[in-house]
Structure 1
Amino acid sequence: MVTPRTSLVVLATAFAALTVTATGPAQAAASLPAVSPRAETAALHDDEAGGDADADDPAIWRNRADPDRSLVVATAKQGGLRVYDLDAREVQSVPAPAGPGPEDAPGRFNNVDLVHSARLGELAVTTDRGNDRLRIYRIDRDRAGGPLSDVTDRTASPVFSSSQDEINEQRTAYGLATWTDPATGRSFALVSRRERTRLALLELTAGANGSVGYTKVRTLDLPAAFRLPNGASWSPCAEPGELPQVEGMVVDPANGTLYAGQEDVGIWRLKADLTGTPTLIDKVREYGVPGTYDEATEECVAGADPGFGGTKLTADVEGLTLVAEKDGDGLLLASSQGDNTFAAYDREISDANEYEGGFRVTSATATLDGSEECDGAAALDAPLGRRYPNGLLVVQDGDDTPGDGDRPSTNFKFVDLGEVTDAIDD
């Protein structure tokens, strides 16, 4: 399954011209149960005045000594990292590093995940898509100046690129999931490549003076073309030369299973060590739909739907997160970005990750809206003090309202996890 790729591609959102009819999937989405957030972070603005900050992906760190003082670490792309308390108030802002030269791409933090390791400590790891590297931060809730401190090994190499010119083309480190092998105590990061189907397995390693680096173990390429039941070959419509990328990923720590969302295809299940054969556990509705890219509109014009797609996910498949209950039960949650819903699957592989239900995150008040066009999500099924005794779900909101005029506004919504699981069970 590991095959080298030498050509470079440019990613655009596939099926941008597809619409969902009011009598079909949109009606099904509207019928799903709704939950409302209890809090939201301040809006981020992806413009010069806002520091080019764009909310993308969260992770939840539980303070075991004092769960009320737990934290949410989240990416803001070119705006770096933000750290929030459980009231959704910012407690730290970490800037993304600049590029090595004035003409080089600046740092841009895409996805984030956490490491809890006896060897390495408590870490927040993020993909720096601008520089094609991992950035690694130690977590200390009581540290003066903020809980995160940069411990990235300065000798760390690019994840995928072989030169600065290649980095500047931005086919770089994108999606991320971390995993600590309970049998060996070794910690790993699984990283996807922007505008590629490639996944890389990196081992996190201790360096000098408390720094943390990484070494590449292996890579694996997911398919870019698919054989349909009618015998035709299909690839998602995209700009010329583009391949369907992966972003949302999560690893089940109980069995070392990686779930990876190939945005315009569906959700893959595979071994976190990137060995064996991946299994596509669900497809997006648009799977198998032919499309033609229109250079003038920079959109895809969809053909007739042959009916080979799924029924629960509308492209893109985005944030994946796990509700990992202690008894081995639990849920895999996926953001169905195209219809502003979330799909829930059984965590148990023996049940073939059966679909369990879905939900929407909708407005709580006139000033506290729901989640639309969600990029990233994180769930923690553990008590988090008085605010979230049933656990917490944090979701990105790609269209925060009410906004600030014409400025693009994004943020993160905090949702009681107990309300989510109750909604799915009903």
Structure 2
Amino acid sequence: MKRYLPLAALLVSACATEPAQDLYAIETAPIPAAVETAPMVGKGDKADDPAVWVNLANPAASLVLGTNKDAGLYVYNLAGEELQFLDVGRVNNVDLRGDLAVASNDETNSVSWFTIDSTTNTVSHIGDTPTNKDEPYGICAGLVGNTYYAMPTYKDGVAQVWAVATDAISDGPELLAEIQVGQYGQLQLEGCVFDEANGQVFVGEEEHGVWKLDLNDWTAAPVSVDTIDARNGLVADVEGMDIWAGENGEGYLVVSSQAADRFVVYDLKAPHAPRGVFTVVESLDGAIDAVTHTDGLDVNSAPLPGFPNGIVVVQDDGNPESGVDQNFKLVDWTLIQAALGLE
């Protein structure tokens, strides 16, 4: 299936001396949505970013955390039913490692911390870390040994690195570094993801593309992974990203290409070759609408009921109309794997 620019844009292009390439026109694999969460009822840009928590003792009891950037953090089960709401303020992005989650809170200019109880399947807010910087935007979490990392990203192109020992969470994290990742355009960063197995962190510059940082050397210069201009499927805004993790550091990076309603998949290991592009279309029975203008996403390779090779969860801008009853869609990785010919 191909996506095309609106007629007005095509007419402008036709008047140019040399016809411009249509960045929207690219082959995509249509993947049907499997499940959708309860909507964040009302109009406006509310839903933003999900994170999947796997209950190791009982995978069927796994959870999806989802931010409402006007209100707080929602918790859903794998059937999409709302289980919990935490009124913690305007949290924009959320991520987790193990039973500890972090969210970027631009109401309090802090990193908000949460624990997940695997016995009761409940999420609890345990505190906030002031970032001493306005409007933390995106965030991602990492875990290396017993060191837990939280990386909030900012609209001025900066990424902060906070770290704390997992046995000393109550002591609070330490700020290790502030890195100027954004280099071009509007500099704005949001999506990011830690790849601990390969010692790297991927960060999205919304108007430019994807960068990677050296997890073992925060002073190293950011390295370009892909750009919008390379025409591999990215368009502005470059938004949510996460990893399907395989064995021995193998796997795939998935990145939301927001304005084109699609997702670009790359090899996790360098040179990070593009492996294909997919869209999320309506469910096979037509009961769940297609996904448009995705902001945040999350990927998990753990086998779950109904998702034998892992799951992808993406924000949907409209349910079905843009800015109305936004929610999150759950997608079976098996279908993506087959459509794109992934190992």
TM over 0.5: yes
User: Could you tell me which of 102, 108, 114 is aligned with 2:90?
Assistant: 108
Distance 1:211-1:46 versus aligned 2 partners, 3 A rule: farther
Residues 174-214 of structure 1 show CA distances to partners (whole Å, capped at 9, x for unaligned) of 111111113xx211111112x21111000135698x74632
Say if 1:173 and 1:191, in contact at 8 Å, map to a contact too. Answer: yes
**1:394 matches 2:313:** yes
Q: 1:216 aligned to 2:175?
A: yes
**Structure 2 SS opposite 1:371:** coil
Q: Structure 1 stretch 243-252 or stretch 260-269: which is displaced more? A: 243-252
Which structure has greater strand proportion?
Answer: 2
Structure 2 residue 75 is the aligned partner of structure 1 residue 83: yes
Quote the RMSD (CA, aligned, Å).
2.4
Q: What is the aligned length? A: 325
In the alignment, structure 1 segments of 5+ residues that lack a partner are 1-17, 97-106, 117-121, 162-170, 226-235, 237-242, 286-308
Aligned to 1:61: 53
Distance in 2 (CA, whole Å) between partners of 1:53 and 1:284 is 25
Distance 1:186 1:357, change over 3 A: same
Q: CA deviation at 1:274?
A: 2.4
Counterpart CA distance in 1 for 2:202 and 2:323 is 34
Alignment partner, residue 24 of structure 2: 26
Q: Describe how 1:242-261 pairs up with structure 2 within 5 A.
A: 243-261=186-204
TM-score when normalising by structure 2: 0.88
* Larger gyration radius, structure 1 or structure 2: 1
1:355–1:311 CA distance, 2 compared to 1 (3 A): closer
- The counterpart of 2:105, out of the listed 128, 134, 157, is 128
Deviation, 1:27, is 3.1
Q: Aligned partners of 1:174, 1:84: CA distance in 2, in Å?
A: 23
User: Match of 2:273, as an amino acid?
Assistant: E
Q: Distance in 2 between matches of 1:212 and 1:90?
A: 32
Opposite residue 104 of structure 2, the aligned amino acid is T
- The C-alpha deviation readout for 1:350-382, integer Å capped at 9, x for no partner, is xx1011111110111443112111001111111
Aligned residues of 1:53 and 1:80 also touching (Cα < 8 A): no
C-alpha contact (below 8 Å) 2:33/2:290 kept by paired residues: yes
Change (3 A) 1:311 1:378: same
Is 1:353 aligned with 2:272?
A: yes
Distance 1:87 1:330 in 2: 26
| 1:411 and 2:332 are equivalent in the alignment | no
Change (3 A) 1:262 1:140: same
Query: 1:200 and 1:19 mapped to 2: Cα distance?
Result: 38
CA distance in 2, matches of 1:371, 1:380: 19
Query: What percent of counterpart residues are identical?
Result: 31
TM (normalized to structure 1)? Answer: 0.71
Partner of 2:124: 149
Matches of 1:75 and 1:223, distance apart in 2? 24
Deviations 1:148-181 (Å, cap 9, x if unpaired)?
Answer: 112116xx3x2133xxxxxxxxx41111111111
DSSP 3-state at the match of 1:173: coil
Q: Distance in 2 between matches of 1:53 and 1:137?
A: 24
**Counterpart of 2:140?**
177
The Cα of 1:19 is off from its aligned counterpart by 4.6
**How far apart are residue 39 of structure 1 and its match?**
0.8
**Are 1:369 and 2:285 matched, yes or no?**
no
